[in-house]
Amino acid sequence: MSAKPTKYIFVTGGVTSSLGKGIIASSLAKLLQARGLSVTIQKFDPYINVDPGTLNPYEHGECYVTDDGAETDLDLGHYERFLNVPTSQANNITTGRVYYNVITAERRGDYLGKTVQVIPHITDEIKRSIVALGETGKFDIVITEIGGCVGDIESLPFIEAARQLKYEIGEHNTLFIHLTLIPYLSSAGELKTKPTQHSVRTLSESGIQADILVCRTEHPLPPDMRKKIALFCNVQPNDVIEAIDAETIYDVPLLMKKEKLDLRALYKLDLYNDVEPDLEQWKDFLGRLKNPSEQVTIGLIGKYVELKDAYKSIAEAFIHAGAHNECKVKLEWIQSETLATDHYDERLAHLDGILVAPGFGERGLEGKINAVRFARENGIPFFGICLGMQMSVIEFARNVAGLEGASSTELDKDTPNPVIDMMEEQKKVTEKGGTMRLGAYTCELKKGSLAHQAYGKLSISERHRHRYEFNNRFLEPLQKAGLVATGINPETRLVEIVELPKHPFFIGVQFHPELKSTVMTPHPLFVHFVKAALKYSMVKKQALEA
């Protein structure tokens, strides 16, 4: 890190939501990192929930968990996947958290005698959380993504805080990037700039002049259009950056490099450097991703499959692991409820691998158990994550170990054989927010196990988010019947990994490995699962040809 003060980049959005601010922020961060700068990204979410942990995945997609146990927005997953640097609670702040902190301080008496107001108290708290990242001394640049669209009532305090920060720390220490949409009217055959002009104007009404415009578009922006946007939006033509629809999100850093987004940002922040970004490994990954020599079909059995964002990190982990194996992973999203019939085998027979996904509540669980059974009985590579691991234990208990009616107390409180039960410390918990077993825990692996082979070491750390656990009361009968606990928490003795050594590839993990898979370090369990699926598909092909 240089002796220079930390610089702050803000990314706002206009015209519509879902333009991909998180990907643009991550791509810029990647380019700056590739030039030797140390960068972190922070996300502000303008909703009142203190964190997204209490949100239904259908509402907001996956809840991403950090090492320090914060339940955060899924954009933090992109930040980690692109930068290969862990994030923490400080990287995701919601309106709810800001108010919670201010109200807690008010009750403590910190503002005694004063009227507590949006300005200055809420905006001060927002500024504190931006600058706090800079003050760690770890970063040359902090990129703050402001959720929602400019003009939304909810995001006003965040925009105002950013404006104040620019005023306080000066022109070359802050930078505003506005992401906008240039729609294409097919009837007129034209790209339209008016919505962008309006959105930049709305931003300027809040006292912020956008420094750089990143324009999402389905068609290339001709030079005269860039000039027109520049003129009406009060920026230089080379500060109008084209963000054309990409084949994969992992192309975006290279597209942004071509558009010189990083150079424009550095120039405006007085940080100009002529280091050629080192993107060799990234390009190597893209090459493998785009030129697979094999293909496998993996079934993702889940309850929220209608919204793919609910399993974002799992889908991305397969992209990393697929590229590593030079193998295209075709994910088939299967609603677990549809497997709760006697004909579940018809839906699963063609798969090369079966992943039973994490989840909460009762819906679809019997379908998940059927999927485990099918994988176990037919030697299909199986990977169970969190709830998926729990379902594999239940399936084995019922159908192999003969533990009648075995279940999890999450779905059947009165089961005679609660092989999965609520953790002791969870039984007293009544509040729902931030009360699960969350964040990174150490796990020790059994020598020679599948997990040991995959990780190549005996001690690992993985992230958790759950209330229920393998019930150690049943460890002995289950082990006797052939299920092996191959990963144990050294402090609590909780079972974190189960395997079936007689099966070609059968592993269930209580943690969430998908959260730690990145472009640069694909997760070993996903890598080995894809390898196993590939092997299985080849054996199947050979058998058919014979």
Interface residues toward ligand GLN, by CB under 6 A:
358-360, 386-387, 410, 465-468
- Report the nearest approach of ligand GLN to the CB of residue 312 (Å): 14
Query: Is beta strand 294-302 parallel, antiparallel or unpaired with respect to 327-335?
Result: parallel
Nearer to ligand GLN, 267 or 360 (CB): 360
Task: Select which of 386, 499, 503, 523 is catalytic.
Answer: 386
| 386 catalytic residue (yes or no) | yes
DSSP 100: H
| 190 catalytic residue (yes or no) | no
- Report the nearest approach of ligand GLN to the CB of residue 265 (Å): 37
For CA atoms 262, 264, 266, 272, give the dihedral sign: positive
Nearer to ligand GLN, 197 or 409 (CB): 409
- Report the nearest approach of ligand GLN to the CB of residue 408 (Å): 8
DSSP 115: P
Nearer to ligand GLN, 52 or 358 (CB): 358
Nearer to ligand GLN, 386 or 445 (CB): 386
Nearer to ligand GLN, 298 or 509 (CB): 509
The letter for the amino acid at 126 is I
Helix 312-324, helix 280-290: angle, nearest 10: 90
- Report the nearest approach of ligand GLN to the CB of residue 466 (Å): 3
Nearer to ligand GLN, 35 or 466 (CB): 466
Rounded Cα gap, residues 454 and 86, in angstroms? 22
CB 523 within 8 A of CB 321: yes
Nearer to ligand GLN, 132 or 429 (CB): 429
Q: Is residue 542 packed enough to be buried (19+ CB in 10 Å), middle (13-18) or exposed (0-12)? A: exposed
Task: Select which of 125, 366, 462, 514 is catalytic.
Answer: 514
CB 51 within 8 A of CB 433: yes
- Report the nearest approach of ligand GLN to the CB of residue 487 (Å): 16
Q: Return the ∠ at Cα 59 (arms to 386 and 86), rounded to 5°.
A: 55
Nearer to ligand GLN, 12 or 408 (CB): 408
- Report the nearest approach of ligand GLN to the CB of residue 77 (Å): 15
- Report the nearest approach of ligand GLN to the CB of residue 431 (Å): 15
Rounded Cα gap, residues 26 and 145, in angstroms? 10
Q: Is residue 355 packed enough to be buried (19+ CB in 10 Å), middle (13-18) or exposed (0-12)? A: buried
Nearer to ligand GLN, 311 or 318 (CB): 311
Rounded Cα gap, residues 295 and 440, in angstroms? 33
The letter for the amino acid at 290 is K
Of 339, 309, 365, 256, nearest in space to 33 by CA = 256
* Radius of gyration for the alpha carbons in the chain, expressed in angstroms and rounded: 25
Q: Return the ∠ at Cα 299 (arms to 536 and 456), rounded to 5°.
A: 55
- Report the nearest approach of ligand GLN to the CB of residue 57 (Å): 10
Q: Which residues fall within 8 angstroms of residue 123, CB to CB, at 6 or more apart?
A: 157, 160, 161, 164
- Report the nearest approach of ligand GLN to the CB of residue 405 (Å): 19
Helix 123-135, helix 156-169: angle, nearest 10: 60
Of 285, 304, 346, nearest in space to 521 by CA = 285
Task: Select which of 178, 512, 523, 528 is catalytic.
Answer: 512
Rounded Cα gap, residues 231 and 487, in angstroms? 61
Instruction: Using alpha carbons, list the distances in angstroms from residue 38 to 148, 165, 224, 419.
Output: 26, 21, 36, 46
| 327 catalytic residue (yes or no) | no
Distance of CA 378 to the CA centre of its chain: 32
Three-state DSSP class for residue 530: helix
Q: 462 has which bridge partners?
A: 441
Q: Which residues form the catalytic set?
A: 386, 512, 514
